[in-house]
Amino acid sequence: MTDALTTLSVDWCTGRNGIFVIAAAAAVVTGVFVANHLNPADKDAERFKKLAKLPSPPGAVPILGHLLVVGTSPHLKFSEWGKTLGPIFAVKMGSSRTWVVHNSPDVVRDILDRRGATFSDRVQTHLLEAISGNGDMFFMSANGPYLRAWRKHTNNTISKTRLEKDYSNIFKSETKRLLLNLLERGNVGPEGIDPFDDVYLYVINVISLIVFGKNFTKDDADYRQVLQITIDFIQVGSKVLEEFFPFLSPLYRGAIGRAAKVQFEIQQVFGRFVDEVKQDMKEGNERNCACNEYLKAQETDEEGHLYDKASKFWLGGCYGRTLCGPGGCASFIFAGADTSAIALLGGMSMLARQPEIQDRAFAEIKANIGLDRLPNDMDESSLPYTNAIITELLRFRPPSWFGIPHSNLYDEEYNGYHIPANSAHVINVHGLHFDPDTYPDPYAFKPERHLDADNTRQHYAFGAGRRICPGAFLAEKLIFTTLARLLWAFRIEPSLDAQGNPVEVPMPDITKPTPIPPRINVRFVPRHDNVERLCRA
């Protein structure tokens, strides 16, 4: 419109062809009239049509989109495409929505961080709705008052300050249990042990104590159920074909039924845990846990934001979709356990491969903390090198290359490009973390690169914007306390073969789209005599 008016006034002033000017004026007036009487959506549609399309790689075919060319390591392909397509580009994964790949820190900041109000929805499919109880599990909740209320409470409940004030003992006691298990079995024979089960039990216990005030032993029936549901949740929830080919949805009924069954089990098992917290509360024995806090917040929720009235989900009326529903509390276990365990097991494999890093960290711990006490979750500022190991770990092998995609409900514009409504937005974590301009020699595991880092964001492992991982402080404290204590207590060494030669410890496989923790066999060799005494104290 501005352009048309400019042209008109120029023509008018130069006095060329009056008829033309009148016709143009009439056209503009008609245009103004029509534009003013179109509904806003139509006006927007006109505006968006004029915008440029996002750059897109070659090789898309009807129905399949880029699926054939994207291959089995999409994150590596995205990084390759990013080199020619620039900071933002679009791919078609099947026949459904546009996938927008964020390929530079500026794009992540401009879109996800700064325009969080519009880019904080989640991609929905029938299967995801079923498995998440229609968003009862927060990582799938739509953007809105319910999500905002929940995030506000959560940011407070597991903030850095609250973790230090209320939950520090959990990190301390659970790491001691882990260390004692490793001490007992970790250096018995040359074959060492696979720490997988110990690490999973430990991580689930830390999170469950913070959320429900409850922990498990590995033989507890409750623990076995939690593990089974977690496995089912990941298996059923990761069936992405419905997302890629929505027109085949009648064929997904079986999978959707299985997803609803997993959600039902979540309500049953985690519902029991919530009931235990409620019961203790009723009896005047309030537990120091997030669930207790949510229950209380719900009681005083006068505006009703903590209960999502839009929920279609109803399970025999047992809980509805509330802040403290079992699904909500279970979200912490599902979002936090696997990710943290992957980071810890990846860390153990990287440390076993690079003993010089262990020695440098041990020297730092010995100099700044000493051997007469274990390092704890509040020693972060005294142990910069140990902290740098964790940052490097989250850069080098983040637990997910894509996080959880964000979505925008409506058409949007970015830098002259049209971003279609309902696009899925993914951060190209691999591309950003292996950019040689930001991280020279990116394929080397070098904690020291973070020692002199300024305040800029060091990695994108926790996502961005309004949906950024609310458990990031918890995860960082958990990983820090565990690794600092492991480094204080042990040398993590490769197992030995029949001839007594060290067996190479595998690195987490970078080609897998979802980093899976490597199954490793390592030996935990105590560094000094204080380990057992102080862990039993």
Smallest distance, Å, CB 341 to ligand HEM? Answer: 9
- Which one among 403, 431, 494, 517 touches ligand HEM, defined by CB under 6 A? 403
What would the two tokens of residue 484 be? Answer: 């600092």
- C-beta atoms surrounding 55 within 10 Å: 14
Under the binding rule (CB under 6 A), the answer on residue 461 touching ligand HEM is: yes
What would the two tokens of residue 147 be? Answer: 């999500």
Under the binding rule (CB under 6 A), the answer on residue 125 touching ligand HEM is: no
In the three-class reduction of DSSP (H, G, I as helix; E, B as strand; rest coil), residue 93 is classed as strand
Q: Which is nearer to ligand HEM, 206 or 260 (CB)?
A: 206
Only one of the segments 5-13, 263-271, 455-463, 481-489 lies at the binding site for ligand HEM (rule: CB under 6 A); that segment is 455-463
Only one of the segments 251-259, 327-335, 488-496, 518-526 lies at the binding site for ligand HEM (rule: CB under 6 A); that segment is 327-335
Q: Which of 531, 522, 475 is nearest to 185 (CA)?
A: 522
- C-beta atoms surrounding 206 within 10 Å: 26
Under the binding rule (CB under 6 A), the answer on residue 343 touching ligand HEM is: yes
Residue 291 marked as a ligand binder: no
Q: Which of 531, 490, 212, 207 is nearest to 351 (CA)?
A: 490
Please say whether the beta carbons of 327 and 333 come within 8 A.
Answer: no
- Nearest-angstrom CA–CA distance, 413 and 46: 13
Smallest distance, Å, CB 138 to ligand HEM? Answer: 5
Amino acid at the residue 443? Y
Only one of the segments 57-65, 220-228, 350-358, 466-474 lies at the binding site for ligand HEM (rule: CB under 6 A); that segment is 466-474
Only one of the segments 24-32, 338-346, 434-442, 495-503 lies at the binding site for ligand HEM (rule: CB under 6 A); that segment is 338-346
- Which one among 100, 204, 464, 522 touches ligand HEM, defined by CB under 6 A? 464
Q: Which is nearer to ligand HEM, 340 or 408 (CB)?
A: 340
Please say whether the beta carbons of 275 and 292 come within 8 A.
Answer: no
Q: Which is nearer to ligand HEM, 67 or 474 (CB)?
A: 474
What would the two tokens of residue 72 be? Answer: 């089995």
Q: Under rule CB under 6 A, which residues in 181-220 are in contact with ligand HEM?
A: 207
- Nearest-angstrom CA–CA distance, 368 and 379: 9
- Nearest-angstrom CA–CA distance, 417 and 146: 31
What would the two tokens of residue 362 be? Answer: 């041990």
Under the binding rule (CB under 6 A), the answer on residue 335 touching ligand HEM is: yes
- Which one among 103, 175, 230, 331 touches ligand HEM, defined by CB under 6 A? 331
- Nearest-angstrom CA–CA distance, 280 and 188: 42
Under the binding rule (CB under 6 A), the answer on residue 389 touching ligand HEM is: no
Could you tell me which residues are beta bridge partners of residue 406? 122, 425
Under the binding rule (CB under 6 A), the answer on residue 471 touching ligand HEM is: yes
Under the binding rule (CB under 6 A), the answer on residue 87 touching ligand HEM is: no
- Which one among 330, 424, 474, 531 touches ligand HEM, defined by CB under 6 A? 474
Under the binding rule (CB under 6 A), the answer on residue 516 touching ligand HEM is: no
Under the binding rule (CB under 6 A), the answer on residue 463 touching ligand HEM is: yes
- Which one among 374, 469, 486, 487 touches ligand HEM, defined by CB under 6 A? 469
Q: Which is nearer to ligand HEM, 12 or 139 (CB)?
A: 139
- 348: which residues sit within 8 A by CB, 6+ positions away? 195, 199, 486, 492, 520, 522
Could you tell me which residues are beta bridge partners of residue 91? 99
Only one of the segments 194-202, 267-275, 329-337, 504-512 lies at the binding site for ligand HEM (rule: CB under 6 A); that segment is 329-337
What would the two tokens of residue 355 be? Answer: 């003993």
Smallest distance, Å, CB 162 to ligand HEM? Answer: 13
**Size of the residue set binding ligand HEM (CB under 6 A):** 28
Smallest distance, Å, CB 67 to ligand HEM? Answer: 23
Under the binding rule (CB under 6 A), the answer on residue 446 touching ligand HEM is: no
Amino acid at the residue 481? T
Cα-atom radius of gyration of the chain, to the nearest Å? 27
- Nearest-angstrom CA–CA distance, 47 and 416: 11
Q: Where are the alpha helices (DSSP H) in 196-289?
A: 196-212, 221-237, 241-244, 253-282
Binding residue numbers for heme: 469
Which stretches of the chain bind ligand HEM, using CB under 6 A? 138-139, 207, 331-332, 335-336, 339-340, 343, 398-400, 403-404, 406, 461-465, 467-471, 474-475
Binding residue numbers: 469
